[in-house]
Chain A
Amino acid sequence: MSNLLKDELRRVGRRPQASALEEHIVDEAPLPLAQTMTVETLRAYEAALSKLSDDQREVVVMRVELGMAHDEIAAATESPSANAARMRVARALADLARNMSEFKD
């Protein structure tokens, strides 16, 4: 898969829309399992994402946004194995979370 196509997929593809997400937010007592995402969260995510290295950003987008499997990510990023890709994703997500907590401050 070319980088161009990945960018294209990311741009037009699966990104949740803020307006659609707002409808997810229920006005009654929210269910604990409800997965809601606010515009604020999306903004924090974008900011945190931009602070990651290119490689890390790539695996986050592949895993989180495109829902790619670890073996697909391994193939796309030339990781030695699915397990290696798994660790890269976990580390990138940890750094993403750290960046997001900074964004809040």
Chain B
Amino acid sequence: MSATASNVTPLHADPLLKWTARLAEGLPIDWTQAAADLSPALLASLRQVAALAGSFAVAADAPQGIGPLGVGSTVGDLRIAAVLGEGSYGTVYRAHDERLDRDVALKVFKGGHRQELLREGQLLARIDHPNVLKVYGAVETDSLIGFVSELLPGESLERWLGRQGKLSASEITTIGGELCAALCALHQGNIVHGDLKPANVLRHRDGRWVVADFGSSQYANDPLGASGTPLYMAPERFTSTAVTASADQYSLGVLLFYLAARSYPYSAETVIDLKAQHRKGERRRLMDLRPDLPRLQIDAIERALAVDPKKRHSSCGNFAAALHAAPRHRVPPLMAVATAAAVVLAAAIWWPVATPEAHRTEWLRTSSDQGVEILSSGATARVGDALALHLTLTDRRYVYVINEDLAGARYKLFPLATSTLKNPLDAGSYRLPDSALDWRITSRGGREHFFVLLSDEPISSEHFQSAQQAALDAPGEGLYAFEPTRGVGGLAPATSEPDAQWLAALKARHRNLEVRRFELINP
């Protein structure tokens, strides 16, 4: 005889419970099956609860969760991990291919010609070249179409360029040569890029230049479209809908002209002006802007800019040959990119760009009216705001977060006795102080420094002797303080100031200590 007299409903007896158990686990729901199990009213409620769970997760992870696909949702074998960027064509996500167990980028198009995009995805998947972003293929569902590609660690040429001074002849030849090679590979595969510009060229962490952002040739018919970068468009594209290999060469010519001169061959502000200038041949000459460059290099770039396609190089291969024929001056080695730029705005990214630096730190602020945002220069901060640190470690580190106020008082924000995270932290991504807590701003002050110390060995607590533990269980006690700021100021890398004594002592003792320092400035 069974003696079970339980007041607990077994799973199988309550179909709703079966589905909420999956929700509790964060597992996807088979809505067809759920519809068979539940009344329409309950099904609708289950959907709402599922949406709530998803939306809260999105809100908690924002700004990663903006876009049509929620973080954690799946498309085929892909599980969406984060939004990497948004452009006029659509949204790029970081996703995990669960079948092949690898991280990929998924670019979902807004609209577009489905058959054309699918065909283009197939063609792109056949191309295997170090200077072309590897496209694995296209994914298609009833309502969306996207390209799956490799996730490239690096940054866009556009962003890279923002930190460079005048580029040397040698650098221009290197970049130009690699982009020519990329275009040759595409053209050989019967693909015309159609939208070559600095935002669509990536610099791999290993220094390689990679052409990305395909699937935009659909806009070739629309020179005035929102995506339009008319200054990069070959003159014949304003009168013909055909996008040719020669038009790509022209775009590359504009790009190299811009790299060299930091201005465009034409100065028109409207497409009508631009067409008139094309006709009259009124434009800037590279020789006027960069007379220091080798003559042969200037000629090679100018030739790609010919209004008449027949007067350009006969192919991108010939363009490359002409560039390489120019002498390469001896130039100082490229500076290693020491990015202190912890403030990376995902929305500014066009195509999958993973972290350029080794470890990555991002300060997130949660406020009652703005939700979650990455702190950037000029951000305002108020009492009631909550701060958290998103930290991505490429290898194991002992992590310490210190806050120092204007008066020199220091507070150890991490690790805390109450944190679930304990040092050392293995490679991976973390939210500090831990997944469920924030550092909260509870009072006002002047000027605040934040130090994230990344060490390969534990740091003795004596260095933090004067630091007080942030008191997590007493929200009224003021973790740290600053005046509400508005307009000027914000979080900025503060590299020019001399190290505080305690920090200097710390650095002397720990040779491999990496310090990420930020400052909140009050006007």
Contact = CB atoms under 8 A, between A and B. Distances in A.
Nearest to A8: B475
Interface in B348-378: 366-369, 371-372
A42 B60 CA distance: 16
B23 A93 contact: yes
B190 interface: no
Among B17, B52, B54: residue with most chain A CB under 10 A: B52
Nearest to B108: A31
Given A4-B475, A5-B472, A64-B53, A72 B436 contact: yes
Contact of A101 (B14, B20, B25, B42): B42
Contacts of B21: 86-87, 90
Contact of B49 (A15, A33, A36, A100): A100
Among B49, B51, B475: residue with most chain A CB under 10 A: B49
Contact of A31 (B25, B74, B144, B420): B144
B347 to A, nearest CB: 13
Interface string B213-255: 0000000000000000000000000000000000000000000
A105 interface: yes
Instruction: Decide if the interface of chain B is mainly helix, strand, loop or mixed.
Output: mixed
Contact of A93 (B20, B51, B366, B371): B20
A20 to B, nearest CB: 5
B375 to A, nearest CB: 16
Contacts of A24: 55
Instruction: Decide if the interface of chain A is mainly helix, strand, loop or mixed.
Output: helix
A35 to B, nearest CB: 4
Nearest to A91: B17
Given A64-B53, A97-B46, A2 B73 contact: no
B69 interface: yes
B75 interface: yes
B70 A41 contact: no
B42 A97 contact: yes
B58 interface: yes
B41 A35 contact: no
Contact of A66 (B16, B44, B436): B436
B460 to A, nearest CB: 28
A74 interface: no
A97 B20 contact: yes
A1 B436 contact: yes
B269 interface: no
Nearest to A71: B420
A89 B367 CA distance: 27
A87 B11 CA distance: 9
Interface string A14-58: 111100110010100101111111000110110000000000000
B55 A21 contact: yes
A-B pairs, top 8 by smallest CB distance, nearest first, are: A93-B20, A35-B54, A16-B59, A90-B21, A35-B70, A97-B45, A101-B45, A100-B45
